[in-house]
Structure 1
Amino acid sequence: MTEAWINHPTILTGETVELRPLEKGHFEELYLAASDKKLWELIPVDCSNRDPFETAYNFALKEREKGNQYPFVIFRKETKKIIGSTRFFEIYPLDKKLEIGWTWIITQYWGTEINFECKLLLLSFCFDSLKTRRVQIKTDSTNLRSRKAIEKIGGQFEGVLRKDKIKENGVSRSAAYYSILDDEWEDSKQKIILQLTDIKKAYR
């Protein structure tokens, strides 16, 4: 059993979103948000289907009890609706490292400030509160939109792990690995803030 590194409940609050700890009571609203198949095209598990959704998110709750994961729902403050989910996993307190992943946001908010604000909240918590030394982020090697987003927040490309996962359709997925280190965090933070500023200007 992994030592609990993240206190429960942990709530991360930003200007437009609040990251709230996943609870069983969120499942129905979260599943409705997850029902768009476009969200899962490049993810090994298709959570637009009920059974995989229930399996994945029940597993996340069980893993939180063990200290291995910490799942959030993404709550948009203006509309008071759940618009996605994200989580910490691959949590190793002794090595002061973890991974951010399982991140998805409904397509209505693609290209907005939401993803950057979520990453700013998550990474600030990692480096400023947990004193993490390494945060890892990975994505499908063919997911160019996701890879560009990771690079925009200062993620350093480390390489591709070939045939890392087998998707539900039996096809292998290769994963592109990125990381941000503690001594890179200030530069990364400024990149995220710049992205947020540029997006807000564009929407004025």
Structure 2
Amino acid sequence: MRRTTLAATGLAVVAVLALSGCKSGNEEADAAKTTAPSAQPSQSAQQPGASTAPSASASAPAAGGSGATATAGQKFALGEQAQFPFTSGSTKGTITLAVTAIEKGQPADLAPFKLGDKVKGMVPYYIRYQVKNVGTTDLSFASVGHIKGHLGDDSEAQELTVIGKFEKCPNNSLPKGFTNGQVMSGCAVALAPSAETKVASAEYWGDPFTLGKGLVWK
């Protein structure tokens, strides 16, 4: 099985719709990047120092965070922190991550991406999360991606990768000066296939984890 990526350009943002398949590991993200048309702006074209407005659901400190390293397949309640070694390219450190909310959006939210029938009937869900640097490495401009949604039957929700400014679900790289103790809120978009289905959980599957064996919040 394979993953197919479909791309469309809106007025201010670019969205890449990834149809879930069976490819696992970080190869999925690489495949999405290489199949996107070259005319589209890449993630590196974003303003690396742009600030990320905290979501309302992330205003309170996340619970948990005992300092123990999370293990593959571990499950957490929404708002509970998971601590693990973090890698983004050549940058390595230690972070805590907490999915703080999975919020239902409206089909009309997808209109700016001009994806047409590719997202007909689909409903966006906004996976809001909070990242804290608990290590000694400066994680400036690193990217915390590899967060996807799962439906109620534990199957993968389709991903919508947004490159650019999307007010309903801001997701920038970590800001300059993201050193020990710094906290940032972010958001990922998952798509339910219909209004009768919902995105019920979220998984982080970035290094050192793999898809299907990551950290799950529900």
Same fold by TM-score greater than 0.5: no
TM-score, L = length of structure 2:
0.26
Structure number with greater CO (CA < 8 Å, separation at least 6) is: 2
Name whichever structure is richer in strand by fraction: 2
Name whichever structure is richer in helix by fraction: 1
TM-score, L = length of structure 1:
0.27
